[in-house]
Amino acid sequence: MLDSVAIARILPHRFPFLFIDRVVEVTPGQSIVALRMISSSDPILQGHFPGNPIVPGVVQVETMAQAAVILAHLSGEFDPATQDCLFIGIEDAKFRAVAVPGETLRIEVQAERLGRIGKFSGRVLADDQVKCSAKFSAIVAPKRAG
């Protein structure tokens, strides 16, 4: 549905901090499903952990947040040309299994509330195994100068 070029038009993040590779499903105002392919060449894995690469849990949560920003945009609640969408809270984060190179992560995010302050719930899976889940919130604000 959205490739990496379309995603880069929405998100301000760039390599190595852009964690969404593709969006495969969207129901505006409700939910999004995105994918992230984990490669052993990912810069984060070079130091986490050498010889035993594991995607940090905080990166998995950030991946869900990036998917939520795309959902907000596709729902008409966020304009990347004039606004920033900023993380403001994380609740009930649970880390259930490690995410490792070679896996494709499926990021599922549901909008609990959209608007100036958005609330979301999400989970990250690989091969139907839940890697992590969390509830989180973000605020849409005028773009900062600079």
Q: How far apart are CA 110 and CA 136, in angstroms?
A: 11
Catalytic one of 13, 22, 48, 135: 48
Nearest to 63 by CA among 87, 29, 30: 87
Whether 48 sits among the annotated catalytic residues: the reply is yes
Closest Cα partner for 56 from 134, 132, 135? 132
Return d(Cα 80, Cα 62) in angstroms, integer.
18
Alpha-helical regions (H) of 29-144: 57-74
7 DSSP 8-state letter: H
Residue 32: which of 77, 6, 65 has the closest Cα?
A: 65
Catalytic machinery residues: 48
